[in-house]
Amino acid sequence: MRKRVLIPYRHAKKVKAYEDAARAAGMEPQPVLTSGPVSLDGFAGLLLMGGTDVNPRRYGQAPQAEIDRPDDERDEAELELIDHAIDKDVPILAICRGLQILNVYHGGTLIQHLSSVERHSTGGENPALPGHPVTIEPGSLLADIAGTSCWQVNSRHHQAAAEIGAGLRVSARDSEDGTVEALERPDKRFVVAVQWHPEDQVFTDPEQLKLFRRFADAVRFGS
């Protein structure tokens, strides 16, 4: 029986790629709108999507001109879900915005607008196209998943982690400019966050399916 994984979302048109990737790895995704009641009860994993910027006031900064209009309702819903998952050791796979709000939850901060934004907004009409390489930290869970020290990843973000939150470790960086590309929490069963969009690559790059399969393993063999 496939274990259910919660996908909180704001815009339905963006969910399908995440659902397809989760199913390809053997999970049963359940999207739930962040505008209504949302709970992790009854779910074996939490998959955090990309999306709009986290409100900078949540990490003690005034908003800069380049950021999106804040979505406090979504921020609050996802922070509560992260809190539940961390407390109960429910596996988390966090993607793009997901990495950013995971870092903010742990007390970290964000770069509100990258100076090298063009390098991190690639792919055009094909979101699966690789944008740049990332260097994976030896000894990290991500290194164990990847089985290599370098991955070619797609990229579409203008923000990134700055100060890293307590309990998190950097597990990958952009090979050229050093931008944080992955985080993880070693003291938990599975908390992995990536800044790129592997959900768009799983059917063209088997390497990226490894992330979802390892997430599925953690979900399957959890309590």
Q: Which of 96, 157, 181, 184 is catalytic?
A: 96
Place of tokens 């966050």: 193
Distances (CA, A) of 92 to 40, 60, 73, 177: 11, 25, 20, 27
How far apart are the C-alpha atoms of 71 and 53, rounded to whole Å?
8
Whether 197 is a known active-site residue: answer yes
Burial (0-12, 13-18, 19+ Cβ within 10 Å), 74: buried
Whether 96 is a known active-site residue: answer yes
Q: Which of 120, 132, 157, 197 is catalytic?
A: 197
Catalytic residues: 96, 197, 199
